[in-house]
């Protein structure tokens, strides 16, 4: 850096002069830093908006199917016998259920032995397991010819079957091998063939403890069988959970839950209003007050909100009476936010629930489809990319907001590089100024020294010497 003499000869405060010159030269960088700060604020605004749009996506997806849009409540007169799970597709009504048999799985157990781990205690050879019509043949040899070895072979190789060693606590022969099917239902039979175990050792004998069977029940007097104790598909939107054989009819009641549906629609309205209000706040501009929101002039934001508004105000061919948001009590306010009249929506749901459902349902050609398309177009988390396929460039489009944020990231990176480069130029400029002023001070010092020497050589002009 060199030595600065700081105006010691000239009397000029060169350090202060250098500081001011460098500060003046840095003025363009100050503008750059302000632009960087504004760009970073814009990035933060986009990131926050994207998160709010994620919440909006969650809200619309909570009402975009018939099951979700049409909520129901369901009760059982005694769920220790029969429980009930109902979706929005269930038809409201009263159902009686009687259970005469529960579905069960096949289980077999071996005779008891004194030792479960010693090799050679089970005869070597082949052991076959046939489960649900599929046969698997296992081989026992000197490495696994024990009850535990057979158990491991079954668990490792036979799909749909579980085996385990049971310790009964008997004083002499406590160990038994239990083999059970994983699935209930009469079709899931279990057959064990020990005829291939011909080597030295004992051949286990198996006893069937329970045979596989289907559940048997009646729903409103109609006989039904099921391989599972959770019986679905018998009545649309309903699953009967069979827990015990009944001694009297169990009454299942299903009712429409309009209040929950209204709450879910309100959650969508609130989520949209959160996005809209955030955009409004960050598009505010008042030159007199010095207010300029981050989204002022952002064409991406303008086009996205126009797209939302178009979808929200449109009419759809999804019903006869309820074809748009205004018909179900949702109106657009002056600031672009939505307002929900819950009484109007409740009346629409009670009058024509299918039409209201179709308005929001995916693949029904209504608002739900169009609204989610805009969300995906703008807030898809993937960035656009270009790949080469068969020698041709193929463009894969990502989310518009995602691409905009990526572009902003690139701007921020470039700005930081420019600011860093400017710092280097200012450091060099400051070093040159110090070198220049130091040289000046040294030159002035030499001149003063020469002047002193010349003065000493001149004859004296003292008035006393002439008298």
13 pLDDT band (50/70/90 cuts)?
Answer: confident
Distance CA 375, CA 56 (A): 8
Confidence of residue 331 (pLDDT cuts 50, 70, 90): very high
pLDDT tens-digit profile of 231-280? 998 999 999 999 999 999 999 999 989 999 999 999 999 999 999 999 99
Q: Give the pLDDT of residue 21.
A: 86
Contact call for residues 423 and 58 (beta carbons, < 8 A): no
> In whole angstroms, what is the distance from residue 221 CA to residue 224 CA?
9
Look at residue 396 in the predicted model and tell me its pLDDT: 55
The count of other CB atoms within 10 Å of the CB of residue 72 is: 21
- 87 or 220, higher pLDDT: 220
What ranges do the domains of the chain cover?
Answer: 1-71+260-449, 72-103+215-256, 107-210
pLDDT of residue 61: 92
Identify whether the C-beta of residue 54 lies closer than 8 Å to the C-beta of residue 401: no
At 142 the pLDDT is: 93
Q: Which value, to the nearest 10 degrees, does the dihedral of the CA atoms of residues 265, 271, 277, 282 take?
A: -160
Name residues whose C-beta falls within 8 Å of residue 176's C-beta, 6 or more positions apart in sequence.
109, 110, 111, 112, 113, 165, 166, 168
What is the chain's alpha carbon radius of gyration, rounded to the nearest angstrom? 43
- Would you place residue 390 in the very low, low, confident or very high pLDDT band (cuts 50, 70, 90)? low
């Amino acid at each position: 850096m060199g030595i600065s003499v700081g105006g010691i000869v000239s009397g000029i405060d060169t350090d202060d002069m250098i500081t001011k010159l460098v500060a003046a030269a840095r003025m363009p960088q100050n503008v750059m830093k302000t632009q960087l700060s504004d760009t970073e604020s814009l990035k933060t605004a986009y990131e926050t908006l994207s998160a709010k749009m994620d919440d909006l996506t969650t809200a619309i997806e909570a009402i975009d199917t018939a099951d979700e849009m049409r909520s129901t409540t369901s009760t059982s007169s005694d769920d220790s016998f029969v429980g009930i799970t109902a979706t929005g597709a269930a038809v409201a009504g009263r159902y009686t259920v009687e259970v005469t048999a529960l579905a069960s799985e096949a289980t077999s157990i071996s005779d008891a032995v004194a030792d479960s781990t010693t090799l050679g205690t089970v005869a070597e050879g082949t052991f076959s397991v046939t489960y649900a019509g599929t046969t698997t043949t296992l081989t026992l040899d000197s490495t696994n010819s024990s009850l535990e070895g057979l158990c491991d072979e079954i668990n490792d190789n036979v799909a749909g079957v579980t085996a385990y060693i049971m310790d009964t606590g008997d004083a002499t022969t406590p160990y038994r091998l239990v083999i059970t099917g994983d699935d209930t239902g009469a079709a899931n039979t279990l057959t064990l063939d020990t005829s291939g175990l011909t080597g030295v050792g004992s051949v286990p004998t198996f006893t069937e403890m329970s045979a596989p069977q289907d559940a048997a029940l009646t729903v409103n007097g109609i006989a039904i069988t099921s391989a599972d104790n959770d019986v679905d598909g018998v009545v649309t939107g309903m699953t009967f959970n069979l827990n015990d054989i009944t001694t009297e009819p169990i009454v299942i009641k299903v009712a429409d839950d309009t209040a929950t549906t209204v709450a879910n629609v309100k959650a969508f309205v609130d989520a949209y209003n959160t996005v809209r209000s955030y955009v409004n706040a960050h598009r505010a501009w008042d030159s007199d007050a010095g207010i300029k929101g981050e989204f002022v002039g952002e064409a991406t934001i303008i086009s996205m909100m126009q797209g939302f508004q178009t979808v929200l105000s449109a009419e759809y061919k999804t019903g006869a009476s309820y074809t748009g948001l205004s018909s179900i009590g949702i109106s657009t306010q002056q600031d672009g936010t939505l307002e929900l009249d819950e009484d109007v929506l409740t009346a629409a749901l009670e009058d024509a629930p299918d039409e209201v459902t179709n308005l929001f349902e995916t693949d029904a050609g209504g608002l739900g489809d169009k609204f989610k398309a805009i969300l995906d177009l703008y807030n898809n988390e993937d960035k656009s990319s270009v790949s080469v396929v068969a020698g041709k460039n193929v463009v894969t489009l990502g989310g518009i907001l995602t691409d905009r944020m990526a572009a902003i990231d690139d701007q921020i990176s470039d700005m930081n590089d420019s600011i860093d480069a400017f710092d280097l130029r200012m450091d060099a400029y400051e070093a040159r100024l110090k070198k220049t002023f130091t040289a000046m001070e040294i030159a002035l010092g030499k001149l003063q020294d020469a002047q002193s020497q010349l003065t000493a050589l001149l004859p004296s002009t003292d008035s006393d010497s002439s008298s």
